[in-house]
């Protein structure tokens, strides 16, 4: 059985990532890229669906773990009655092939260990043909996929599993290196595992040293930035929402989605998190990915794309996998990619604007793309859509969607005025005013003194907390204050914010899903803008307090069960953590370089 979601640590090589449990088992890995089929899928099933375990063969007295400094090198310490060992797990930055290195280091005494390698390509279905090469490596091939295991330990086959029993004494190190390669190419060359460790530590330490954030909770902000870097597909600059699919938003439920893609709705928040933290190179790479992915006819723009900008993300169900703790179905692909979500147009135009403000290089051709997007939006802004939460029912006039069309016109106007671009400013100003009137008249419930989820509705929605952050209305506006107060009354559970109003119960909305961690941080941001710094700090502390021992956060938190839920680790949660930390830092002390806020 897989562990709790928060029991996992993350390792990766900036092209894919693996989840390592407290028990020393790698239970999830898609190889060779984030969106490839999984070869270890026991996270969504059982050990028979693929895993790689290295752990003491005798009863453990204590287990602890940590990352080695500001790196993505995971160290798990196992203590038994006979001694202690440290398992060092990492993936070196991608060279000619992708490698997982596992080093077993003797700390004290002499410990007996067990290694079990179960490779199952195709999300747990495809059993490879395994043989030993002349140099003693273990080669596994199935269709287009190939792995090679190199270790000085003697291995053997048992029930379609590669196993090894070995001992490690104090001061000894036993290496295991598993390498992926396409099966039609020669077997990848061996790497020196100790040299790879040094190079990996140098890579991450050097990258982390660029961080400009110096406020409170710096360790957690740094871990969030490292996680964001780990979720970046280095060849293109695209950032996946999470490295997993189908981890349930509600334990045992059916809201299980594939998050191994790149969402446009995260564009500006991602950009600001990187720019304000000093990572302009990563911000530029993300911006370049956005430009390439969105290029083309604006009417065809999608809400999400593949890591290389792919547009067809067909959704299907892996019905042979029982799902995480029985949560079905297990989905691969995401049908929401074809939805109309008007907010993404505003996100894209805002990202272009914020990039120029931050001094990132954008040429006039980029302005022409933004111009085309705004002109298209002028024709469709008053249509219903599926909203930021990708509701799969009938489209509605979602308030945040309309607000983000206002953002598109507003940032287009500001871009033309600030940077000297030609634009039909009078027309855009009229459109911006029209959207504002429409939202304030049809999206505001006077009885509740609050903006609501959609026109004609009386239920709230946590995404409305973004209104002051994007500059639609100031946090001092009585309508915004009323909205914040209404969300505090109706949408908080145990100090965290739900994304859906629990007063709305439908087949699609499950009010008992976990609290949405990014939304909780959005409330903290709204409080910062309203001058309620102490309340914002308390909520921020509450959110970071549910991070696991490694500083990682999923999409949601089930306060009743005391567990993280949803795909893990979640980029949007970590992005929100970074941005809220910067906002609190800006609000409480003077900094040499002011934080760039999207409302400006």
Query: End-to-end distance of the chain based on CA atoms, in angstroms?
Result: 49
Residue where a domain stops, chosen among 152, 176, 207? 207
**Mean pLDDT value of segment 320-331:** 96
Domain match, 497 and 449 both = yes
Residue 36 has pLDDT above 50, yes or no: yes
**Bridge partner list, 52:** 26, 117
Coil vs helix vs strand at 36: coil
Say if 594 falls within a structural domain.
no
Among 156, 178, 207, identify where a domain stops. Answer: 207
Q: Is residue 600, in this structure, part of any structural domain at all?
A: no
Q: Which pTM was predicted?
A: 0.96
Model pLDDT, residue 510: 53
Name the H helices within 254-332.
267-276, 280-294
CA-wise closest residue to 464 among 393, 516, 411, 533? 516
Task: Answer whether residue 597 is part of any domain.
Answer: no
Q: What is the mean pLDDT of residues 157-178?
A: 96
pLDDT of residue 504: 77
Instruction: Tell me the CATH number at 444.
Output: 1.50.10.10
Measured between alpha carbons, how far is 169 from 109 in angstroms, rounded to an integer? 6
Strand partners, 30: 38
Nearest CA-CA partner of 70 in 270, 209, 175, 241: 209
- The pair of structure tokens assigned to 499 is 């994304």
**Does 391 reside within a domain?**
yes
The CA distances from residue 229 to 41, 60, 125, 203, 551, in Å, are 23, 34, 31, 12, 15
State whether 197 and 224 are in the same domain: no
The percentage of residues in the chain with a pLDDT greater than 90, rounded to a whole number, is 89
Q: What is the mean pLDDT of residues 486-497?
A: 96
Report yes or no: 87 and 78 within 8 Å, Cβ to Cβ: yes
**Biggest distance spanned by C-alpha atoms of the chain:** 78
What is the distance between the alpha carbons of residues 315 and 520, in angstroms, rounded to a whole number?
Answer: 30
pLDDT at 590 over 70: no
| CA separation for the pair 274, 258 (Å, rounded) | 24
Do residue 152 and residue 222 come from a single domain?
A: no
Does 1 have pLDDT greater than 80? no
Burial 572-595 (b: 16+ CB within 10 A, else e): bbbbbbbbbbbbbbbbeeeeeeeb
Are 358 and 413 members of one domain?
Answer: yes
pLDDT at 325: 96
Closest CA relative to residue 347, chosen from 517, 598, 583, 595: 598
314 in the same domain as 198: no
Residue with tokens 């790196």: 71
* Pair (148, 240) in one structural domain: no
Phi, psi (deg, nearest 5) at residue 520: -60, -40
483 and 361, same structural domain? yes
Confidence check: pLDDT of 281 > 70 = yes
The label of the residue with tokens 């710094």 reads 533
Other Cβ atoms within 10 Å of 428 Cβ, number: 19
Tell me which residue of 44, 175, 42, 174 sits closest to 100, measured CA to CA: 175
Residues 565 and 451 in one domain: yes
What is the pLDDT at residue 508? 58
Strand, helix or coil for residue 363: coil
Cβ atoms of 573 and 555 within 8 Å: the answer is: yes
In a domain, 593, yes or no: no
Q: What is the reported pLDDT for 529?
A: 96
pLDDT digits (tens, 9 = 90+) for 100-142: 999 999 999 999 999 999 999 999 999 999 999 888 899 999 9
- Average pLDDT over the chain reads 94
- Binned at pLDDT 50, 70 and 90, residue 392 comes out as confident
Are residue 305 and residue 421 in the same domain, yes or no? yes
Q: Are residues 125 and 228 in the same domain?
A: no
Tell whether 472 is covered by a domain: yes
Summarize the confidence of residues 246-256 as an average pLDDT.
94
CA distances from 73 to 13, 205, 402, 459, 569 (A): 11, 10, 43, 45, 16
Instruction: Give buried/exposed letters for 299-310 (b at 16+ CB in 10 A, else e).
Output: eebbbbbbbebb
Q: Name the phi and psi angles at 258, rounded to 5.
A: -90, 115
- Are residues 321 and 436 part of one domain? yes
For residue 11, tell me if it sits in a domain. Answer: yes
Beta bridge partners of 109: 83
Domain that holds residue 54: 5-186+193-207
* Tens digit of each residue's pLDDT (9 = 90 or more) over 203-218: 999 999 999 998 888 9
Q: What is the pLDDT of residue 592?
A: 47
3-state SS, one letter per residue, for 73-92:
CEEEEEEECCEEEEEEEECC
Res. 589: pLDDT tops 80? no
More confident of the two residues 552 and 367: 552
For 305-321, the pLDDT digits (tens) are 999 999 999 999 999 99
Q: What is the CATH number of the domain that holds 128?
A: 2.70.98.40
> What is the average per-residue pLDDT within 460-472?
97
Average pLDDT of 344-359? Answer: 94
Partner residues linked to 178 by β-bridges? 100, 149
- In this predicted structure, the answer to whether residue 509 has a pLDDT above a threshold of 70 is no
Last-in-domain residue among 175, 207, 239: 207
Are 140 and 129 a contacting pair, CB within 8 Å? Answer: yes
The tokens describing 577, both together, are 């953590």
Two tokens, residue 177: 């290196």
Domain match, 335 and 460 both: yes
Structural domains of the chain, count = 2
Residue 199 lies in a domain: yes
pLDDT tens-digit map of 142-162:
999 999 999 999 999 999 999
> Residues of the chain with pLDDT > 70: what percent?
97
DSSP 208-266: HTT----STTHHHHHHHHHHHHHTEETTTTEE-S-S-B---SSTTSS---B--SEEGGG
The pLDDT of residue 515 is above 90: yes
């Amino acid at each position: 059985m897989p562990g709790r979601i928060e029991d996992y640590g993350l390792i990766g090589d900036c092209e894919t990532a693996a989840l390592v449990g407290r028990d020393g088992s790698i239970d999830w890995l898609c190889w060779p890229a984030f969106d490839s089929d999984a070869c270890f899928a026991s996270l969504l099933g059982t050990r028979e669906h693929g895993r790689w375990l290295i752990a003491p063969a005798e009863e453990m007295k204590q287990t602890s773990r940590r990352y080695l400094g500001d790196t993505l090198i995971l160290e798990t310490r196992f203590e038994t009655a006979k001694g202690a060992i440290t398992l060092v797990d990492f993936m070196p930055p991608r060279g000619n092939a992708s490698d997982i290195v596992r080093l077993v280091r003797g700390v004290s005494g002499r410990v007996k260990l067990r290694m079990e390698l179960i490779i199952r390509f195709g999300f747990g279905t495809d059993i490879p043909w395994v043989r030993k090469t002349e140099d003693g490596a273990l080669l596994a091939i199935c269709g287009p996929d190939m792995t090679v295991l190199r270790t000085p330990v003697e291995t053997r086959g048992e029930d379609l599993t590669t196993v090894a029993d070995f001992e490690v004494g104090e001061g000894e190190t036993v290496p295991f290196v598993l390498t992926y390669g396409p099966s039609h190419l020669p077997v990848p060359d061996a790497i020196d595992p100790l040299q790879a460790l040094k190079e990996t530590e140098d890579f991450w330490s050097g990258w982390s040293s660029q961080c400009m954030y110096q406020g409170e909770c710096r360790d957690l902000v740094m871990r969030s930035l490292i996680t964001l870097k780990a979720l970046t597909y280095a060849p293109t600059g695209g950032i996946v929402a999470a490295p997993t699919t189908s981890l349930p938003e509600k334990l045992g439920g059916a809201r299980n989605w594939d998050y191994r893609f790149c969402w446009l709705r995260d564009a500006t928040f991602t950009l600001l998190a990187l720019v304000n933290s000093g990572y302009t190179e990563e911000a530029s790479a993300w911006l370049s990915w956005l430009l390439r992915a969105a290029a083309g006819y604006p009417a065809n723009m999608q809400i999400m794309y593949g890591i290389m900008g792919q547009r067809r993300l067909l959704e299907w169900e892996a019905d042979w996998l029982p799902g995480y703790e029985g949560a079905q179905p297990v989905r691969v692909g995401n049908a929401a990619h074809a939805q109309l979500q008007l907010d993404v147009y505003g996100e894209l135009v805002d990202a272009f604007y914020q990039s120029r403000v931050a001094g990132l290089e954008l040429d006039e051709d980029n302005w022409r793309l933004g111009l085309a997007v705004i002109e298209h939006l002028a024709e469709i802004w008053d249509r219903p859509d599926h909203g930021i939460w990708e509701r799969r029912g009938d489209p509605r006039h979602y308030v945040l969607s309309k607000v983000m069309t206002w953002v598109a016109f507003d940032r287009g106007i500001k871009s033309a005025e600030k940077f000297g671009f030609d634009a039909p400013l009078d027309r855009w100003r009229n459109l911006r005013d029209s959207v504002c009137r429409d939202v304030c008249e049809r999206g505001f419930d006077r009885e509740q003194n609050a903006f609501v989820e959609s026109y004609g509705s009386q239920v709230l929605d946590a995404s409305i907390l973004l209104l002051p952050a994007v500059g639609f209305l100031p946090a001092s506006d009585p309508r915004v204050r009323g909205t914040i107060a209404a969300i505090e009354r109706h949408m908080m559970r145990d100090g965290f914010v739900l994304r859906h109003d629990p007063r709305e119960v439908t087949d699609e909305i499950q009010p008992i899903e976990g609290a949405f961690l990014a939304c909780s941080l959005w409330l903290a941001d709204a409080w910062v803008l309203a001058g309620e710094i102490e309340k914002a700090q308390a909520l921020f502390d509450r959110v970071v307090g549910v991070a696991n021992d490694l500083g990682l956060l999923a999409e949601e938190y089930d306060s009743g069960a005391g567990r993280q839920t949803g795909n893990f680790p979640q980029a949007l949660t970590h992005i929100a953590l970074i941005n809220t930390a910067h906002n609190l830092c800006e609000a409480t002390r003077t900094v040499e370089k002011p934080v760039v806020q999207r409302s400006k």
